[in-house]
Amino acid sequence: MAIGVDVNVPFKYVLIADRELPPEQQTVFKIRPMLMSEKLAYVKKFGEEAHEVTIEECVELLNRYLMGWENFKNSKGEDIPFVPKLTKLDTLSEQMLVELTGAVFEVNSMTKETAKN
């Protein structure tokens, strides 16, 4: 049975730096699945080859595809609430922005192994 893309069920992504931590200490970012029409629009706009992304492109993509997070703390150890729109990205470092932008495409790419299942 074929299953369609459900944009309301996010992929969970853990930053590379957190992957060695115990699960209860990892920050989990929730990334919305990309529709095929969105993938095609991105390819039309930027081409099929990987390119250097600007911070503006990172912000644009994450505003569209970042749906939330779990266990994301400030320096005092307090949870940072997820707030939709641009302000949510103010708490992310530039390195996080870039990695999460790559994650948008990583979690939305079908591998040969995935296609077999």
Q: What value does the mean pLDDT take over residues 95-102?
A: 91
Does residue 44 sit within a domain?
Answer: yes
Residue 28 lies in a domain: yes
Tokens of 19: 């992957």
Structural domain count, the chain: 1
Highest mean pLDDT (candidates 71-75, 86-90, 113-117): 71-75
Contact 14, 28 (CB under 8 A): yes
- Alpha-carbon distance of 23 to 45, in angstroms, equals 37
- For the full predicted model, state whether its pTM sits above 0.85: no
What pLDDT does 88 receive? 67
Determine the Cα–Cα distance for residues 97 and 61; give it in Å rounded to an integer.
10
How large is the average pLDDT for residues 34-46?
Answer: 82
Angle at 43 between CA 41 and CA 44, to 5 degrees: 60
Which residue's entry shows tokens 């990695």? 99
Mean pLDDT on 3-8 = 79
What is the rounded CA–CA span in Å between residue 55 and residue 69? 20
Domain that holds residue 17: 11-109
